[in-house]
Chains A and B, each alone.
Chain A
Amino acid sequence: MSSVDFSWLIGGPQGSGVESGANVFSKVCAELGYQVFGKREFHSNIKGDHSYFTVRVSDKLIHSNVNDVSLMISFDAETIFRHSSEVMPGGGIIYDSDLEKISTDSVGTLDNYFKERLHRELESKNKPFTIDGVLEIAREKGVNLYPVSFKTILASLAEETENPRLKGMIRMFNVIGVSLSLGLIKMPPDSLLKSIDSIFSKKPQIAEINKQAATYSYNYAASKFPDFSFVLSGTEKQSDTILVQGHQGTSIGKMVSGCRFQSYYPITPASDESVFLESNEILEVHDDRPGSTTVIQTEDEISAIGMMIGSALTGTRSSTSTSGPGFALMTEAIGWAGMNEVPIVLTLYQRSGPSTGLPTRHGQDDLLFAVAGSFGDFPRIVYASGDIEESFYDTGNCFNYSDVYQVPVIHMMDKFLSSSVVTCKRFDPQKITINRGKLLEKVEGEYKRFAFTEDGISPRSRLGLDNGIFWNTGDESDETGHITEDPQMRIKMMDKRMSKLDLILKQVPKDEQIVSYGVHDYTIISWGSTKGPILDALEMLKKEGIDIGFIQIKLIHPFPTEHVKSLLENVKTIIDIEANHSGQLGKIFKQNVTREIDYFILKYSGRGMTSTEIYESLKRITENKANKREVLEHGA
C-alpha cells in the first residue's frame, strides 16, 4: 500500500462552523485508522473574520503541518483568495461556484496588506482581481478545480426530501463541504454519518437533516468528480488511539494528578482548559466517593493566583492556567509563593506578545519572562512540553516537582499546542505517579514551617492540620515564619531556598530534563511545541541521507548546564529553533553553556512552524547557504 500524506484545509468566516466541520473531518479520518494533525487559525474576533483549519492525515506517525495543501474546501470567497496558492499541483479545490465573479474589493474582511500582495501577484500574471482570477492561476499550476453550487445542492436536497426549509439552511455549508471532500477522496461514509449522530445526539431531527445533506453531497462529489488522485479508503487502525484537543493533555493531566482547585481569569488560549475542568468537575475515584475540582473564575489573574496559593496552603494540589498578559499580573504573587515555599503549578499557554500582541496567534515569546518574571531571587521551575501527549505526563511531573521541592512550577505550553487536534496514544493514567514530598499528615511536638534541614526542604504542614500551626509572610522570616530582618538569618534563609535549584538538577531524572533524539555534527536545540515540526523535518532530511541531531530541552530553569554541555560536546554546529524574535532559549544557552549559537531558525509571524519550512532552512544550513537568522514566514 502506498503511503498517504494528505493535507486538507477548510476556511470560512468565524462562527460559520469551520471548527466543527474540521472536527468531524478529523474524527472520520481517525476512525478510519489515520493519524491526524489538525490546527486552527483564527482572528481575535467572534463572528465574521476569516478562520481556517488545516488537517494533515497520514498512515504514518506525523507531528506537524506541511506547507502544501492537497485539498481545500471553501464556501466563502475569502478562503479562496487567501489560500488557493497553497494548494499543490495535483491537489484540488472544491469551491462554491456562485462565488466565481466576486472581486477582491467586495470582500470587506480582506485587509489591505494582503490585498496589495494579491493584486501584485494577479497583475503580474495578467489576471482579473476576482475569484476567477486566482482560480485560473491555480489551474495553470496543475490544481484540479471542483465547482459546486452549494445553493443548488440545498435546493435539490429540499426537493428530494420534500422539505422546503432546507433551501435556506446555509448553516449546513460546513457539513456539505466536509461530505463533498470525503466523497472526493472516497473515504467510506459510515463514520461520517456516525459522527453526525454523535454530535447531534440530543437533537435527532437535526441529525437526520444533516445526514441527508451529508449523504447527498458525498454521492454528488463521488459521482461527479471520480478522478481525484488522492484516495483515502482507510488504513489499519492502531489500537488505543485517541483524538485529543490541545488543552486536554494538561486538563486531564490535572485531574489525574489530583489537582482539586483551579482558579483562572478568561484568556486565549488558556481558558479552554479551565472550562473543560469545570465541565468535568465531578470526578470518579477508585474505591471511594466521588471527588471534584473546584474551578473558580476570578475577577482578575491576581486573584486567580492569590486563590490558588490560598488553596495550596491547605495541602490541596492547586493550579491556574493563563497566558502572557495574565502571567504578568501574577508575578508579584509568584514571588510570594517562592518565598513561602508553596507548591503551585501555573500552566502558561503562551501566545504572541508583546502586550496584547496577536492575541489568538502562536508564539513562544515568554520563556525569559517565565524564568525571570518577578523581583528578588527565589527558586522556581520552568518546564516545557513538546506536544499534547507529553503534556499529559508532564503535568503529573510538574505537580510532583512542586510538592517535592516546594516551589512554584511554570509549565510552558502555547497556542500551537492548544489549538491542535491530534491523534495520539491513549493517555495512561497509571504512568503518572503522585509524590507529595514532605507534606505532613500529622504533627507531633514543636513545629517550625521553615525548619532548617539537610536538603533545604522543610516538612510542610497545611492549614487546618492539628498542631501544625505556622506563619507565612512575604517579608523575610525565621524558621517559624515570623518576620525578621536579621542579616545572618537572611543569609541562611536565602541559601536554604536557593539551594533547591541544585537539588532539582541533581534529583530530577535526566530524561525528564532533556530528550535527545540523537546528536550529530549539526544539532538542534529547541523547546516546546517546535518539537513536532522539527521531528518531521528531520525525517525528511534523513530520507535524503542528511542526519541532524536534536535535543529537546524540557527543564529550562534551573538550566541543566552540565547535561547540555556533555551532550553537545562533539557537536560542530548548533542550531536554535524557536517561535520568537530573539532566540530566547539561545540566550539562556549562551549564558549557561558559554557557547555561541551558530544558526537560529525563528518564526514570529504568529503562525506555527511547518515541517516543510524547517526542512528547507536546515537544508540551506547544511549547504552553507543559510543566513545566521533564518526567519520563517509560511502561513496565512
Chain B
Amino acid sequence: MALKLADYKTTVHNDWCPGCGDFGIVNALQMALAEMGIERDKAAIFSGIGCSGKTSHFINTYGIHTLHGRVLTFAQGGKLANPEMTVLAVGGDGDGLGIGAGHFVAAGRRNIDMTYIIFDNGVYGLTKGQASPTLKLGEKTKSLPSPNTNYNVNPIGLAVASGFTFVARAYSYDVRHLKDLIVKAVQHKGLSFLDVLQPCPTYNDLNTRDWYAGEDLAKESIERHSRIYKLEDTHFDPVVHYDDEIDEKLAQALIKSLEWGNKIPTGIFYKNEIISPFATRLTDKIPNYLENPPAKQNISKDGIPTTDVSKILDSMKV
C-alpha cells in the first residue's frame, strides 16, 4: 500500500510557539519522506535537545531524541551498524554548532551516507533566547541583556571546510523548496548538510519572517522584496564534476556562503560525489560490510557463539 503524507505524522501534541519556523521543517520532512516513499520502519530521525529536538516525536518513523549536542554521534552509530536505514539527524544551531561543534567537524571528515539538518534560528530557543553561535557580532535579540560579543559561525563555510559533500541552505517558510532540498540531500551519496533559516518569533526579533521577506527593504526599493533568493535561479554550479575542480568549487561555496544582508542565497552550495562515502572506505577493509553489516550478523546459534576465534587462540598457544 502506497504511503501517504498522513502516514508520516504522529498524533503527539506539538508545543512549539505559534508561527515558529520549526513547523515548516517538520512538514517538509514528512513531505520528503512521503515523496521518496521511504518505508516508515526503514527510516530513523535522530534529534538533539532544544525546541528543534522535539522533531523526532512528530514524525512517524523510528525517532531518537538524544542529548544536547550529541545527535550526530548517535545517528552515525545507528547508520554504521545498520546501513540499510535512511538516517536523518536534526537539531538546533546551538546544538550542532555550539556544544556539538566538534562532532560536526568530525562527521564531515567521515562522510557517512546520511543527512544533517540544522534549525538555524540565531538563538537558544528552549533556554529562553540566549545567543546561538550563528547570531552575528553586535546583534541584540530580544532577551539578550546586551549585544552579542562573539563573532558568528558560518555553518555553510564550516560544513564545506569539514568535508561534508553536500552543503545547502533552505528557508523554513519556503516548504516546497525545503522539501526538494531534503529529497536531494537524502539521495546524495555521502554526508549532506542542510542549514535551514528558521525564524523564532518568540526570541529572535531581528531575523523575522518579515525581515527575510524584505519588508524593510521594500520601503527603500520597490524592485525586490524577499532577501532570499535561490542559487538554482542563477548560473551558480555547485557540483564537483571531476577531481581537479574540487578546490575551486570549495572556494566558490565558501565565498557564496559569506553573502548575507540584503541578499541571502539558498539552494545547493556544494556537491561532491567523488569523495568516497565512509561505507566504501569500510568496504575496502571489510569486503562484505554492506551485505553483512553489524546489525545483520549471526552471532549465535541456540545460545552458543558462532564466532570462531580458534586461529587467534592457536597463535597464543605455548
Contacts and interface: CB of A to CB of B under 8 A. Distances in A.
Interface of A: 27, 30-31, 237, 241-244, 248, 252, 255-258, 260-261, 263, 280-294, 296, 298-300, 302-318, 332-333, 336, 396, 423, 426-427, 429-430, 432-436, 462-475, 481-483
Interface stretch (B163-171, B187-195, B217-225, B309-317): B309-317
A197 to B, nearest CB: 14
Interface in B64-118: 64-67, 70, 72-82, 84-85, 102-103, 105-106
Contacts, number: 244
Contact of A284 (B41, B292, B303, B311): B311
A241 B300 contact: no
Given A252-B312, A252-B313, 9 more contacts: A242-B316, A258-B299, A258-B307, A284-B309, A291-B299, A294-B282, A311-B295, A433-B303, A463-B295
Contacts of A466: 41
16 contacts: A256-B309, A288-B298, A292-B294, A294-B286, A296-B80, A302-B70, A302-B103, A303-B103, A307-B77, A314-B82, A316-B82, A333-B67, A463-B62, A471-B57, A471-B64, A471-B65
Nearest to B89: A310
Interface centre among B61, B70, B317 (most CB of A within 10 A): B70
B211 interface: no
B146 interface: no
B289 interface: yes
Interface stretch (B29-37, B42-50, B255-263): B42-50
B66 to A, nearest CB: 7
B235 interface: no
Nearest to A282: B286
Interface residues of B, number: 65
A344 B154 CA distance: 36
B309 A463 contact: no
A252 B44 CA distance: 32
Interface string B276-306: 0000001001101101111101111101111
A304 to B, nearest CB: 8
B172 interface: no
B77 A311 contact: yes
Given A243-B316, A474-B66, A286 B82 contact: no
B80 A311 contact: yes
The 9 closest A-B pairs by CB, nearest first: A306-B73, A310-B77, A258-B299, A307-B77, A299-B106, A434-B300, A311-B81, A473-B65, A260-B294
B295 A244 contact: no
B55 to A, nearest CB: 11
Contact of B61 (A255, A462, A469): A469
Contacts of B295: 260, 311, 314-316, 462-464
A634 to B, nearest CB: 29
Interface in B8-34: 10, 12
Nearest to A481: B63
B77 A318 contact: yes
A255 B307 contact: yes
A283 B312 CA distance: 10
A261 B294 contact: yes
Interface centre among B78, B81, B293, B317 (most CB of A within 10 A): B81
B272 interface: no
A242 B73 contact: no
Nearest to A427: B313
Contacts of A316: 81-82, 294-295, 297
A261 B298 CA distance: 14
A285 B62 CA distance: 31
Contact of B308 (A242, A286, A289): A286
Given A286-B308, A299-B102, A260 B77 contact: no
Given A260-B294, A292-B289, A310 B317 contact: no
Interface string B162-203: 000000000000000000000000000000000000000000
Contacts of B61: 469
A306 B79 CA distance: 12
A248 B297 CA distance: 22
Contacts of A241: 317-318
Contacts of B312: 252, 255, 280
B60 interface: yes
A396 to B, nearest CB: 8
A291 B80 contact: no
A464 B42 contact: yes
Contacts of B285: 281
Contacts of A462: 295
Interface centre among A257, A313, A467 (most CB of B within 10 A): A313
A436 B72 CA distance: 27
A294 B294 contact: yes
A426 B318 CA distance: 10
Nearest to A435: B303
A292 B287 CA distance: 10
A463 B82 contact: yes
A312 B81 CA distance: 8
Contacts of B42: 464
B74 A317 contact: no
Contacts of A473: 56-57, 65
B278 to A, nearest CB: 9
